[in-house]
Amino acid sequence: MSACITLEHVRFRWPGAQHHTLDIPQLSIQRGEQVLLRGPSGCGKSTLLSLIAGIHCPTEGQLQVLNQPLTALNQRQRDRLRANEIGYIFQQFNLLPYLSAVANVALACQFAPARRQRLQQQGLSVDQASAALLTRLGLSTAEQQLHAQQLSVGQQQRVAAARALLGAPALIIADEPTSALDQAHRDAFIEVLFEQCAAQQSTLLFVTHDATLAKHFARVIEFTAINAVQREAKHV
Amino acid sequence: MFKLACASLWNRRVSAWLTVLAIAVSSLLLLGVERLKTQTQNNFANTISATDLIVGGRTGSTQLLLSSVFHIGNLTSTISWDSYQHLKSLPGVAWSIPLAMGDSVRGFPVVATTGDYFEFFRYGQQQPLSFADGAMFANEQQLVVGAEVAVQLGLRVGDPVTVAHGSGGPSFSQHDDHPFVVSGILQRTGTPVDQALYIALEGLGLVHGEYIPASVESGDHGHNHHDHNHDDEHAEPPVYTLSAVLLGLQSKPLALRLQRDINTYRAEPMTAIIPGVALQEFWRTMQVFERALFSISVLVVITGLIGMLTTLLASLRERRREMAILRAIGAGPVQIFSLLVSEALVLTSAGLVLAVAGLFGVIGLGGELLQQWFGLSLSATGLTAAEWRLIAAILVAALFLSLVPAWRAYRLALADGLSVKL
């Protein structure tokens, strides 16, 4: 099994800040793994995700995503890598309100030629694949044509998941995707997400502050355990 | 990216429409002013053609031009009948049209002239005058009516008309109800010719008591031989003074020499002008107003574009979530930048399309009203090169202004990344 994400001695400090937000000596996630990253709010989880997604660059250290050293790539190459190989799900308000559900899903291919190509190899157009994926995630054909605001929060998150999954990117990052959902919807959502990730062999990095979700995952990483900054802060 | 920009704008359509409207109205103003400028200039240049010299008493060239061709203002100085005879006899003069003005019919100027007016006067591209109805005056009691006057006063051939002395007329203050009868109505020309009435010099002389018809005097001349009278050097002149004389020459290059000769004529001070030159001089004085109008409309367009800038900048705050989503699906800061630029271009283009449509709408629907109320005639011809240049300039200006919100969105996209605190 090859590595999906590898961090070595990664440190990150916001411009102008005095202290590091992140100091991660070592972290490795294998391809195909479904990992829960748990930590309290405001501890730097989102910052770590933005490093992995290639939005920001580590101040120090080595960060590899899918064998690509992000620190060696320029902004455009990192944006391209994210478009092609990373599906990202926010906590909520994942969708552009002025597009239909199916158009929101198809948006995933807007900047991602590799995703479009993979769909082509399966003989699917972007719109066909988007509709098929939404159907699998339980949205009716009529619901797929609705605008994002007209959908329930649970439906919106499934549309967001579909967008992240479309064209089988290697890595799905979900940043607290269930925090706006109730218990029943939450479990259903996680289940469907697992299913689809497994079906297309995408690695899943699921971030939450909610410890009760741990039971769904084979591997759970406590954020405070990998981030040295937290421990130092306690000593001071 | 373009489709996305359109969809995003559609989502904010109220403010987008208002922005488009602001740009449309301001661009319409600019294009309208430009069109008014060029077409008025053309109309001016089209008012007189073929005439090589205009001669009047000693006065300014603009004043002579305005009163003789446009019937605007009064000429205080006149030239004598003798000087007119002299002008006619100058070598190289092919034809001459004497003009005596000062009277009016319900506000429309009355021009006393001879039959030569209808034969030799040209406007536009050497177009002669022609009659829509009837014929030219055959005696001193008949009168020819310009097309616009006929419409405004509801005159038809055979109708009686009373001529009143205009204020500032040489020495006649009493009202005269010497009746005239309409003998003909001219075809519309789109020039000041439409705005006047025409009588024979003898008619004017009769009204003013200067002229006694030959038939009354000697009894052996018919009414219908005015030209005969004119050519007869010994006969009493129909009028003692003329306002202006239009001269046609056998060859154009003669005009300069003749102009000098007339201007230095010793027997009576006279001014001769070359119509084309005088029109240009006059237009140059008008340019001050034209430039002021143009500057104002440019400022209005800038205001419209700044309005767009404000709207786009204000929208960025509400759209940080939208930007974060676009970033998450792989849009780089450059794409976010181009999204904002496309939005500005879509807004401006829509505004410009609306402005051009509005321009043709105003000309098509309101052209007649403009003509009637302000005497401005605009035609709905295709966009001229100058108008295309203005449109391009507005687009380029919008492009440059859009760099401001685009740059701001670029910075925000880099700083916010995927984390947006709402």
| Confidence category of residue B223, pLDDT binned at 50, 70, 90 | very low
Q: How many angstroms separate the CA of residue B338 from the nearest CA in chain A?
A: 13
Q: The tokens 């200067």 sit on which residue?
A: B210
Residue B172 has pLDDT above 50, yes or no: no
Q: How many angstroms separate the CA of residue A151 from the nearest CA in chain B?
A: 17
Provide φ and ψ at A54, rounded to 5°: 80, 20
Query: Which tens digits make up the pLDDT trace of B260-274?
Result: 989 998 888 999 999
Question: What's residue B375's pLDDT?
Answer: 58
Residue B6 has pLDDT above 90, yes or no: no
Question: What's residue B301's pLDDT?
Answer: 92
In chain B, where are the structural domains located?
2-44+286-416, 53-273
- The CA distance from A158 to A137, in Å, is 6
B287 Cβ partners below 8 Å, 6+ apart?
A: none
Mutate to test the interface with B, among A107, A147, A173 (most CBs of B within 10 A): A107
**Residues of A whose CB is below 8 A from B328:** 53, 82, 88, 90
Residue B420 has pLDDT above 70, yes or no: no
The per-residue pLDDT of chain A, averaged, comes to: 86
The per-residue pLDDT of chain B, averaged, comes to: 83
Residue B57 has pLDDT above 80, yes or no: yes
**Residues of B whose CB is below 8 A from A53:** 328, 417-418
Q: How many angstroms separate the CA of residue B397 from the nearest CA in chain A?
A: 29
| Confidence category of residue B286, pLDDT binned at 50, 70, 90 | confident
| Confidence category of residue B399, pLDDT binned at 50, 70, 90 | very high
Q: How many angstroms separate the CA of residue B10 from the nearest CA in chain A?
A: 8
**Residues of A whose CB is below 8 A from B3:** none
- The CA distance from B170 to B158, in Å, is 30
In chain A, where are the structural domains located?
3-235
**Residues of A whose CB is below 8 A from B8:** 96, 98
3-state secondary structure at position B90: coil
How many percent of chain B have pLDDT more than 90? 32
Q: How many angstroms separate the CA of residue B305 from the nearest CA in chain A?
A: 25
Residue B168 has pLDDT above 70, yes or no: no
Mutate to test the interface with B, among A56, A70, A79 (most CBs of B within 10 A): A79
Question: What's residue B306's pLDDT?
Answer: 92
Q: Is A127 on the interface with B (CB under 8 A)?
A: no
Mutate to test the interface with B, among A76, A80, A111, A207 (most CBs of B within 10 A): A111
Query: Which tens digits make up the pLDDT trace of A141-183?
Result: 888 888 888 888 888 888 998 999 998 899 999 888 888 888 8
| Confidence category of residue B373, pLDDT binned at 50, 70, 90 | low
Asked if B329 and A99 come within 8 Å (Cβ–Cβ), the reply is no
How many percent of chain A have pLDDT more than 70? 97
Residue A218 has pLDDT above 70, yes or no: yes
**Residues of A whose CB is below 8 A from B7:** 96, 98-99
Q: Which of B328, B334, B417 sits opposite A56 (nearest CB)?
A: B417
**Residues of A whose CB is below 8 A from B322:** 96
Q: How many angstroms separate the CA of residue B8 from the nearest CA in chain A?
A: 7
* Angle A34-A38-A43 from CA coordinates, rounded to 5°: 135
Query: Which tens digits make up the pLDDT trace of A106-121?
Result: 888 888 888 888 888 8
Greatest CA separation found in chain B? 110
CATH placement of domain A3-235: 3.40.50.300
Residue B173 has pLDDT above 90, yes or no: no
With beta carbons less than 8 A apart as the criterion, state whether B322 and B11 touch. no
For B419, name the nearest residue in chain A, comparing CA atoms only: A46
Residue B235 has pLDDT above 80, yes or no: no
Average the pLDDT over each of A140-149, B181-190, B221-230 and give the range with the smallest value: B221-230
DSSP character at residue B135: -
Question: What's residue B72's pLDDT?
Answer: 81
With beta carbons less than 8 A apart as the criterion, state whether B108 and B153 touch. yes
Q: Which of B11, B417, B422 sits opposite A55 (nearest CB)?
A: B417
Question: What's residue B141's pLDDT?
Answer: 87
Residue B198 has pLDDT above 90, yes or no: yes
Residue A231 has pLDDT above 70, yes or no: no
Q: CA nearest A156: which of A169, A167, A147?
A: A147
Query: Which tens digits make up the pLDDT trace of B104-148?
Result: 888 888 999 999 999 999 888 788 999 999 888 888 889 999 998
Question: What's residue B54's pLDDT?
Answer: 93
Q: Is A100 on the interface with B (CB under 8 A)?
A: no
Q: B40 or B142: which carries more pLDDT confidence?
A: B142
Average pLDDT, integer, range A17-25: 86
Average pLDDT, integer, range A184-204: 87
**Please, what's the b/e burial string for B277-316 (b: 16 or more CB within 10 A of its CB; e: otherwise)?**
ebbeebeeeeeeebeebbeebbebbeebbebbbebbeebb
Question: What's residue B348's pLDDT?
Answer: 94
Encoded tokens for B333: 């800061």
B interface residues, A as partner, C-beta within 8 Å: 1, 4, 7-8, 10-11, 321-322, 324-325, 327-335, 417-419, 422
Question: What's residue B224's pLDDT?
Answer: 46
How many percent of chain B have pLDDT more than 70? 88
Residue A230 has pLDDT above 60, yes or no: no
Element (H, E) at A124: none
Q: A28 or B76: which carries more pLDDT confidence?
A: A28
With beta carbons less than 8 A apart as the criterion, state whether A203 and A234 touch. no
Residue B396 has pLDDT above 50, yes or no: yes
Average the pLDDT over each of A228-232, B181-185, B307-311, B398-402 and give the range with the smallest value: A228-232
* Angle B69-B73-B76 from CA coordinates, rounded to 5°: 100
Asked if A79 and B325 come within 8 Å (Cβ–Cβ), the reply is no
Residue B82 has pLDDT above 80, yes or no: yes
